[in-house]
A and B are shown apart, each in its own frame.
Chain A
Amino acid sequence: MMKKKRKSISYGKWGYLFILPFFVSFFIFSLIPLVDTIRYSFFEYYRSGIKEIGPNFVGMKNYVSLLESDMLKYAGNTLILWVIGFIPQIVIALLLASWFSDMRLKIHGKQFFKVVVYLPNLIMASAFALLFFTMLSTNGPVNSILVSVGVIMKPIDFFGSVFGTRSVIGFMNFLMWFGNTTILLMAAIMGISIDIFEATDLDGCNRMQRFFYVTLPLIKPILAYTIITAIIGGLQMFDVPQIITNGQGNPDRTSMTLIMFLNNHLKSKNYGMAGALSVYLFLLSGGLCYIVFKMTNRNDPDGSKAALKAEKKEQRRKRG
């Protein structure tokens, strides 16, 4: 190491030095793999038995054969599973967030409820999935309770039907994520100035009006953030369906997600196909992010913001 004691006024090089580990690590463990992934997506490269085939350059062949395979079906599965979980998640979260942040509502044990709804988010998804699988099996406790209470005559085979399996996976996703979304949205609502809510009161807004015309437009940036992360998370869905269906995507691969598909290719060391699939996923997630990003950055799509601002000004003038 050279230790030149130059009296420089600029400390800039320290900045470079401090951010260096991040970029070196990113370069090695993300960028090189990404380039490698993209490169091999153009190659025929897999293992059959102990023999390695390739790598032979095949152009876009992997991409084409993926489109001809069941990939689109798995994309559809992923979307369906995500929607089943996400719709109740965002509705309940908005509801809870507006309740928790409403000071005039006297909610008993508010702290308790906040702690409880967030709890499932921290649970190991794979263990949680195994727990659900065990509890909902035909001789598991849930069926045992339902039968003994007399709700049903004979045990329900939750994992025997497409509807049952998808509902359970969607429900688990909902359960694991609605608390997280609630806390985020609550913070967003708490960030709105109390003056605005007082103003809406003076104007005689009811709860519904206040929610749809004031709260919702004002938390739009954080709502968008929530939706972005939820979409990305949905695209990455793996642990729950993988464990519940033991990697099979049962019944008849109707709950096989894209990442499970990728995992199968990785496990069978089909690098060409895995690469092409990764590139599809990369483009898809990039595209989705960009769309939502654009949507939220279009500053004032329906003039609601301008209207709100004018309204606020009006309020202030009236009071002042």
Chain B
Amino acid sequence: MKAKKGNRLVPVLIHIVLIFLAFLCLFFFYVLLINATHSHADLQKGFSALPGNALLENLKGVANDGTFPMFKGIFNSIIISTSCAAICTYFSSLTAYGLYAYEYKAKKLAFTFIMAILVMPTQVTAMGFLRLVTNMGLYDTFYPLIIPSIASPAVFYFMYSYLQSSLPLSLVEAARIDGSGEFRTFNQIVIPIMKPAIAVQAIFVFVGSWNNYFVPALILQSKSKITVPILIASLRNADYMSFDMGKIYMMIAVAIVPIVIAYLLLSKYIIAGVTLGGVKE
């Protein structure tokens, strides 16, 4: 009897907790979006819960700001993140396929090695990386932010798990009998099969690169090359409290909203992707 009474109360309690957590997650975005539509003068009067009418004005202010070239930053970020996503997923698939479909001596060693570096923080090599990049003459270019993503142990591992579950080796064998070269087999048979995994990982790599602040801040220098997170940081660095606050909110919104929209459209795949990556032992 006691349990029954508890059963009726528990769902109510659960919903209260869930609504509270959802409120925490959404409240700040709400404030951001509302404030991005207010002019500086409006914002000084205190918070108002309804949208203002300075949306376009603030957007124009952001677009025309020469000190903080936000749209240039977004453009740079898109180039870097897209290249990273493409290169990283392609080569991770290739590595995974190379370790999955072939038999050779160093195979086990190579696999163990990748698993050992799976969780190594990139920051510990940052100092040597910075020096290397400088010596190679690649300082203040996009290359050092893109090319190293060829070796991404975590993405590799995801691809490897996916291959294990969805590529029968008999298919590769059949392609061989039909006279397909190994490289062609990979590009025309394996890649299409891996499309779902590639899509999911491309999203994660893109977002990771888009949000990355530490390494780009070390490598990029000139104003025409900096990415969104660096711009955000330099905004904080300046005495920005004296700036037009409507514009500040709009800048933050411009940095955040594209990802939020993409997320809402792709949330089904993204959430499925998180679990896929973690669950495989």
Closest-CB distance, B4 to chain A (whole angstroms):
12
Closest-CB distance, A14 to chain B (whole angstroms):
4
A25 touches B278 (CB 8 A): no
- A-chain residues with CB within 8 Å of residue B31 when the two chains form the complex: 135, 141-142
Which of B56-64, B192-200, B231-239 forms part of the interface with chain A? Answer: B231-239
Which residues of A in the span 225-249 have a Cβ within 8 Å of any Cβ on B? 225-226, 228-229, 232, 235-236, 238-239, 242-243, 246-247
Q: Does B75 make an interface contact (CB < 8 A)?
A: no
Q: Does A36 make an interface contact (CB < 8 A)?
A: yes
B278 touches A187 (CB 8 A): yes
B267 touches A26 (CB 8 A): no
Q: Does A37 make an interface contact (CB < 8 A)?
A: yes
Alpha-carbon gap, A105 to B249, bound state (A): 40
B228 touches A127 (CB 8 A): yes
Do most interface residues of chain A lie in helix, strand or loop, or is the interface mixed?
helix
- B-chain residues with CB within 8 Å of residue A180 when the two chains form the complex: 274
A119 touches B95 (CB 8 A): no
Proximity bits, B200-215, A CB within 8 Å = 1, else 0 = 0000000100110110
- B-chain residues with CB within 8 Å of residue A85 when the two chains form the complex: none
Do most interface residues of chain B lie in helix, strand or loop, or is the interface mixed?
helix
Q: Does B79 make an interface contact (CB < 8 A)?
A: no
- Which listed residue, A144, A222, A238, A282, touches B47 by the CB 8 Å rule? A144
A282 touches B213 (CB 8 A): no
Indicate whether A243 sits within 8 Å of B278 (C-beta atoms), given known contacts A30-B148, A124-B256: no
Q: Which residue of B lies closest to A293 (CB)?
A: B119
- Which listed residue, B119, B236, B245, touches A289 by the CB 8 Å rule? B119
Name A residues whose Cβ lies closer than 8 Å to a Cβ of B.
10-19, 21-23, 25-26, 28-30, 32-37, 40, 92, 95-96, 99, 105-108, 112-120, 122-135, 137, 139, 141-142, 144-145, 148, 175, 178-180, 183-184, 186-188, 191, 206-207, 221-222, 225-226, 228-229, 232, 235-236, 238-239, 242-243, 246-247, 259, 262-263, 265-266, 271, 274-275, 278-279, 281-282, 285, 289
Question: Across chains A and B, which 6 residue pairs bring their CB atoms closest together, nearest first?
Answer: A18-B98, A33-B128, A15-B102, A36-B128, A12-B104, A187-B275
Name B residues whose Cβ lies closer than 8 Å to a Cβ of A.
3, 10-11, 14-15, 17-18, 21-22, 24-26, 28-29, 31-32, 35, 44, 46-47, 91-92, 94-95, 97-99, 101-107, 110, 114, 117, 119-132, 144, 147-148, 150-151, 156, 182-183, 186, 207, 210-211, 213-214, 217-218, 228-229, 232-233, 235-237, 241, 245, 248-249, 252, 255-256, 259-260, 263-264, 267, 270-271, 274-275, 278-279, 281
Q: List 24 A-B contacts (CB under 8 A).
A: A10-B104, A12-B105, A16-B104, A18-B95, A21-B150, A25-B91, A26-B117, A33-B128, A36-B128, A37-B128, A119-B263, A123-B256, A129-B236, A141-B35, A145-B47, A183-B274, A222-B278, A232-B119, A242-B213, A246-B236, A262-B127, A266-B218, A278-B124, A281-B123
